[in-house]
């Protein structure tokens, strides 16, 4: 895990990844690939500097390379970032529990024991919220998918 943090902690590598991401999601780019020369031009860095950082990104699986003669074309591979995301999510969502007043469920248990209609109301609200969230996610996914290149749709939605 520490390796990926070292890789993405470098500002130059993050800039290169940003360029690759922009190419990846660009509507005019079918493959999401960009040449080393284009990255050099875009970032105004030297070719050896860009190549050195691309090697680190390649060694950690964050980019893939396609060789065509003397030219190298790079594309972003976000798979290793999913492990980083899985590790970060608990830290980023830790404050969510503070937004919900929970006292280990004792009040709800007491209210249910006392005959209050807590369970039904909570269940209904959870179901409604879940349905609304799924509906919004599904509608947004469909709208976004219509405007994405096929290669992007396949990577994001893994089936369309």
Residues 142 and 99: their CA atoms lie apart, in Å, by 31
Instruction: Output the six-digit token pair for 13.
Output: 């590598």
What pLDDT band is residue 142 in, cutting at 50, 70 and 90?
confident
Give me Rg for the CA atoms of the chain: 23
Give the pair of three-digit tokens for residue 9.
């902690």
Burial of residue 53, with CB atoms counted within 10 A of its CB: 0-12 exposed, 13-18 middle, 19 or more buried: buried
pLDDT digits over 41-72, tens only? Answer: 999 999 999 999 999 999 999 999 999 999 99
- Is pLDDT at 113 greater than 60 in this prediction? no
* Residues 65/74, Cβ–Cβ less than 8 Å: yes
Structure tokens at 63: 């980019």
**Residues forming a β-bridge with 74:** 34, 65
19-36 b/e with 16+ CB inside 10 Å = b?
bbeebbeeeebeebbbeb
Residue in this structure with the two tokens 């007043």, named with its chain if needed: 101
In contact, 152 and 24? CB cutoff 8 Å: yes
Q: Return the pLDDT at 118.
A: 47
DSSP string covering 91-124, please?
A: HHSTTHHHHS--STTHHHHHHHHTT-SHHHHHHH
């Amino acid at each position: 895990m520490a390796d990926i943090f070292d890789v993405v902690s470098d500002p130059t590598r993050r800039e290169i990844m940003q360029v690759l991401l922009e190419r990846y999601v660009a509507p005019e780019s079918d493959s999401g690939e960009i040449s080393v020369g284009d990255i050099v031009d875009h970032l105004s860095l030297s070719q050896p500097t860009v190549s050195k950082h691309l090697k680190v990104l390649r060694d950690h699986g964050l980019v893939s390379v396609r060789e065509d003669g003397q030219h190298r074309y790079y594309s972003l591979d976000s798979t290793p970032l999913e492990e980083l995301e899985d590790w970060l999510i608990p830290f980023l969502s830790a404050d969510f529990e503070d937004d919900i007043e929970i006292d280990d469920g004792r009040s709800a248990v007491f209210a249910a024991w006392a005959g209050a209609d807590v369970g039904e109301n909570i269940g209904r609200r959870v179901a409604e919220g879940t349905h609304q969230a799924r509906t919004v996610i599904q509608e947004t996914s469909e709208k976004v998918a219509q405007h994405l290149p096929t290669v992007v749709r396949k990577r994001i939605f893994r089936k369309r």
